[in-house]
Amino acid sequence: MKKYQITGGLPLSGKIRIQGSKNAVLPMMAASVLQKETVELKGCPKISDVFCMEKMLQSLGAQTAWEGDTLQICCREISGELPETRLAGKLRSSILFLGSLLGRSGYGRIGSPGGCSIGRRPTDLHEMALRALGAGVTKTENGITAYAGKLSGNHIRFPKSSVGATENAILAAVCAEGTTVLSGCAREPEVQWLCRFLRRMGASVEGESRGCVIIRGQKRLHGCTFQVPPDRIAAGTWILAGAAVRGAVELDRVPVEELETVLKVYRKMGGQYRVSGDKLFTDSSRVGRAVPYVETESYPGFPTDLQSPLLAAAATLSGKTIVRETVFEDRFAAVRELRKMGARTQIRGPLIEMEKSRLRGAQVAAGDLRGGAALVIAALAAEGNTEVEQVQYIERGYERFPEQLQQLGARIRMIEE
């Protein structure tokens, strides 16, 4: 088992280059099976979710190769069945192979998808969308199968915003016969980047920034080379880490336009920053006042993925912060662990209250990706030493997390037992 040992109380300062986006590149990897040539993903983050998705591609028959941070995926020979059903259970994005395998050959079968334990993670909207395109979908406790003699375009109305279900519908529709209109769909940057990637592969997709996607099915798509965009959630995590320890952090390759609500909250707590090109210079020396109320929402609202890191920073602020989690019904694991570090926090239904706390080092355990990052942020601000266990959750989505923090002057090391 791997864990981090962290000595808190040190300010952070220095420069970080933002990694490629986990939640943008995973759908692109699933999309690669829609064509029979090769796609190249440049600036691909080396994180365990990407390596797991790569294994799934290989088990489907794709050939993959790394050249530096470029991942090449050749999809000449692809079967419709993920034989390694346990692989699918390791991450949520495995479900996206249903849409892309349907689009490629009219048949896809995956093991039950996994994902961080932050709620029930139902798949009803995915199934609704694929059925609307003419697919039969059967779900058992072992996995999900989707099949279609022919996929036909349709108007699909999503009753609620779902990033994954929107992505799955797009992946199945780009090679369907006729036109598909998706309304009520997610507008997250990762959905928009998937549409840009699919256009590069020859798909006809438009309207993604307006939440109403129009797709004209194409007979075949082709390979391409694409630069993976920077990870807005990783960038937001570093901004909040700097805020928690009043540091001065320079971030390189930041998607500032995707972080408006996060920067607004950062300013409210006293954060100062300036933008120069794709560099963000943050100065947290005046951070100190609590932000009274923050609600997580679908994009462009405050991202649910930064809820836990925000709470960790909020524990260092004067006053009470109330965060309403509106996206996932059980994204509170980090709160319970932060209490062990002395955090003065209460959960009232979907509301989490956090007051200024005297954080001190403790033995805590990550329970999910973003909650694990929040525990590290709290450990950086705490007095004394903290051990964060189960750090494999953090390695799912953050590239070289301890090394990046060491670059900023943090005292953190990885222990393997």
The answer to whether residue 397 forms part of the interface with ligand EPZ (CB under 6 A) is yes
Cβ(6)–Cβ(388) under 8 Å? yes
For residue 146, the minimal CB distance to ligand EPZ (Å) is: 14
Which DSSP category does 159 fall into?
S
Q: Which of 21, 72, 93, 112 binds ligand EPZ (CB under 6 A)?
A: 93
Whose structure tokens read 């028959």? Answer: 61
* From 118-126, 237-245, 254-262, 379-387, span contacting ligand EPZ (CB under 6 A): 118-126
Residues catalogued as catalytic: 116
Which residues inside 360-379 make contact with ligand EPZ, applying CB under 6 A?
Answer: 369-370
Q: How far apart (Å, rounded) are the C-alpha atoms in residues 155 and 334?
A: 39
Site string for ligand EPZ, 314-353 (x = CB under 6 A): -------------xx-------------------------
3-state DSSP call for residue 17? strand
Site string for ligand EPZ, 62-91 (x = CB under 6 A): ------------------------------
Q: Are strands 320-324 and 293-295 parallel, antiparallel or unpaired?
A: parallel
The answer to whether residue 403 forms part of the interface with ligand EPZ (CB under 6 A) is no
* From 186-194, 202-210, 247-255, 312-320, span contacting ligand EPZ (CB under 6 A): 186-194
Find the farthest-apart pair of alpha carbons in the chain and give their distance in angstroms, rounded: 62
Q: How far apart (Å, rounded) are the C-alpha atoms in residues 248 and 240?
A: 11
Q: What is the DSSP string of 101-141?
A: HHHHHSEEEEEPP---SSS----HHHHHHHHHTT-EEEE-S
CA-wise closest residue to 405 among 390, 389, 394: 394
154 is in an annotated binding site: no
143 Rama class: left (phi>0) / alpha (psi -120 to 50) / beta? left
Amino acid present at 206: E
* From 184-192, 202-210, 213-221, 270-278, span contacting ligand EPZ (CB under 6 A): 184-192
Number of chain residues interacting with ligand EPZ (CB under 6 A) = 29
22 is in an annotated binding site: yes
385 is in an annotated binding site: no
Residues in the chain: 417
The answer to whether residue 237 forms part of the interface with ligand EPZ (CB under 6 A) is no
* From 34-42, 124-132, 254-262, 267-275, span contacting ligand EPZ (CB under 6 A): 124-132
Measure Cα distances from 8 to 131, 304, 323, 376 in Å. 52, 26, 25, 9
The answer to whether residue 116 forms part of the interface with ligand EPZ (CB under 6 A) is yes
Cβ(381)–Cβ(312) under 8 Å? yes
- The DSSP element (H or E) to which 251 belongs, if any, is strand 248-252
Amino acid present at 228: V
For residue 203, the minimal CB distance to ligand EPZ (Å) is: 19
Which DSSP category does 314 fall into?
H
The answer to whether residue 92 forms part of the interface with ligand EPZ (CB under 6 A) is yes
305 is in an annotated binding site: yes
For residue 104, the minimal CB distance to ligand EPZ (Å) is: 21
The answer to whether residue 301 forms part of the interface with ligand EPZ (CB under 6 A) is no
Site string for ligand EPZ, 162-181 (x = CB under 6 A): xxxx----------------
Q: How far apart (Å, rounded) are the C-alpha atoms in residues 181 and 169?
A: 10
Binding positions for ligand EPZ, rule: CB under 6 A: 22-23, 26, 92-93, 116, 119-126, 160, 162-165, 186, 188, 190, 304-305, 327-328, 369-370, 397
Residues that constitute the known binding site for UDP-N-acetyl-alpha-D-glucosamine: 92, 305, 327
